[in-house]
Homo-oligomer: A and B are copies of this chain.
């Protein structure tokens, strides 16, 4: 069968060609299809279900901190985009412009939102009058558009799905607190749900968001040693409030500007899951974000009682996300599919197992096999999923730590950048010239000043002058 042939072609080994491995996994795990809309992808059920689990769990964490969801328009009139100088400079070159509505040209063209700061500011201006109206802690789940030239599924596409939180506060302190709070929500979510360890820190002035006072970031290390920015949280100070005139009357009847934040996470996280956990057989999903946590694969399913036993087992495992693969493919074929799609656990159940009141559980990440009694299979599946979730985080952390290097002088910095894919911890004087030198001469495009971590020296790794910050340098996706 033509279909079968296509499926068994092996996935490119990640050591041979990491980029091709990534594309192979994305397609063989059935996460997306390319479309005839250039730079945009169709997210298929297996991919979208991961996003739904991310949304649900992230949204619960948001709401626990008092976030409320809203929906803002997808269009931004040009005059609105232009109100904050740095912001428009950052985004205008990469937006899609709507110029006609129906058969008529628009009086003013509008862009499809690349991000919604300007819309929220315009909205808050009308909503906020007094200190009683503060804080506003709103979020919206939507898609945004940025006219990227080179695109890759999940990592960079012209349209992507995300959430963007936008808050307004009475004081600078409260805004800063919320900025850090949301960065920590992101980091905890990555570690606890996606099993992806992250470095929490601040971006350099050069790299901060267009219009922000400070941008905080969480950075994860992919299997190939490249860094992936996995979530950002921005403190705008009162810059946008001044540009848009968002003022409130305080308790002493004085007019003051609000202080704002914004923070976002995107479908890029699915790319991170692939590149942190995947292997040469395909995707490996952390159980908490796996749409199907266990696939029951009947062996000799035409024998009497086998399919019935498989369905009964599915019922018994109703507390988990479980499916039975009862298609007419061979068991070996089903095993490959389950592996490519990253389903955490497969449960093999054949006539002999049924006779012995047992099943075989196989973990996707380690391939460890476990013969368990059907009497306590719920407990066993629960244990395996929990162990797998925890060990995936430990393994990812070990990989990250094993690929984190220190450099105290330019030679060792350059050497690490050239030959050791990973993070390089090195000191920085804070000057743009050194940042640019590191980027241009050593090719490190990612930098994050961590909240935690001991200095690895006193002097800047680039210029030798007194250092101000420890930086995690890396090559960014």
Contacts and interface: CB of A to CB of B under 8 A. Distances in A.
A100 interface: yes
A51 B35 CA distance: 30
Nearest to A36: B122
A332 interface: no
A195 B99 CA distance: 42
A52 B69 contact: yes
A69 B74 CA distance: 21
15 contacts: A3-B132, A35-B122, A40-B74, A42-B70, A42-B119, A43-B71, A45-B68, A45-B70, A48-B70, A48-B71, A49-B68, A74-B159, A96-B98, A97-B98, A99-B100
A49 B69 contact: yes
Nearest to A125: B36
Interface residues of A: mostly helix, strand, loop or mixed?
Answer: mixed
A64 interface: no
A52 B52 CA distance: 13
Interface string A85-96: 000000001111
A324 to B, nearest CB: 14
Contacts of A126: 33
A73 B161 CA distance: 10
A285 to B, nearest CB: 17
A142 interface: yes
Given A36-B122, A40-B74, 15 more contacts: A35-B122, A35-B123, A37-B76, A41-B73, A42-B70, A42-B119, A42-B123, A43-B70, A45-B68, A45-B138, A51-B71, A73-B159, A74-B145, A98-B98, A142-B143
A147 interface: yes
B98 A69 contact: no
A100 B145 CA distance: 12
Interface of A: 2-3, 33, 35-37, 40-45, 48-49, 51-52, 68-77, 80, 93-103, 110, 112, 119, 122-123, 126-127, 129-130, 132, 138, 142-143, 145, 147, 158-159, 161
Contacts of A161: 71
Contacts of A127: 33
For this chain, the copies found in one complex come to 2
Given A101-B96, A110-B37, A73 B42 contact: yes
A341 to B, nearest CB: 14
A55 to B, nearest CB: 10
Nearest to A136: B45
Nearest to A70: B48
B102 A143 contact: no
Residue from the set A40, A74, A94, A110 with the largest chain B CB neighbour count within 10 Å: A74
B159 A75 contact: yes
Nearest to A106: B96
